[in-house]
Structure 1
């Protein structure tokens, strides 16, 4: 991504890890609703399809890249297995998240 005016945008929040039990279990951190409108605006500039928003996130000292999933007027931050193992987090845990939109080079 090229440098864009107003980027990168950083978000910091605490949220509880949730588990979605589909064909295979996935773990997510729901993004607080107060950020949804701003993320929808940013998605117009950075999304590579389906409304997903590429981010760099830090949880418990583990830095990783992923893409937020739009869900029910909000967004979910997926937690990769390697991140969950490294940070020892699971469903029900409260985590502090630092997340940056617009800093990822693709």
Structure 2
């Protein structure tokens, strides 16, 4: 397992059903994760990860985005609330791929 540390900005993505907050992985981190993947992937090309921001850690998946040309990381409302974050804010993430 490799841990990647990076700073990234949060952004809001809205659909007709809900609003989600995401951040984009830096291209070099996304390339390393893509190159390290072997075997079949989860649905939608997802990769399981554990993420830490501030004092909060959670497990989720990152998803490839053709539009943004990188993996996107969803950030839960509970994480935003716990860390005082909102769309437009920048945060430091520690992301570890999970088998």
Common topology (TM > 0.5) = yes
How many residues are aligned here? Answer: 96
Structure 2: segments with no counterpart, 5+ residues: none
2:56 corresponding residue in structure 1: 62
Query: How far did 1:43 drift?
Result: 3.5
Q: Secondary structure at the match of 2:31?
A: helix
Partner of 2:43: 49
For 1:12, the equivalent position in structure 2 comes to 5
Work out the CA distance in 1 between the residues paired with 2:83 and 2:56: 7
TM-score, reference length from structure 2: 0.87
* Residue in structure 2 matched with residue 75 of structure 1 by the alignment: 71
* 1:23-34 correspondence runs (5 A): 23=16, 24-34=18-28
Question: Comparing 80-89 with 58-67, which one deviates more in the overlay?
Answer: 80-89
CA distance in 1, matches of 2:41, 2:2: 14
| Alpha-carbon separation, structure 2, partners of 1:11 and 1:96 | 10
- The structure-2 alpha-carbon separation of the partners of 1:43 and 1:19, relative to structure 1 and needing over 3 Å to count, comes to farther
> How large is the Cα RMSD of the aligned pairs?
1.6
TM-score by length of structure 1 reads: 0.82
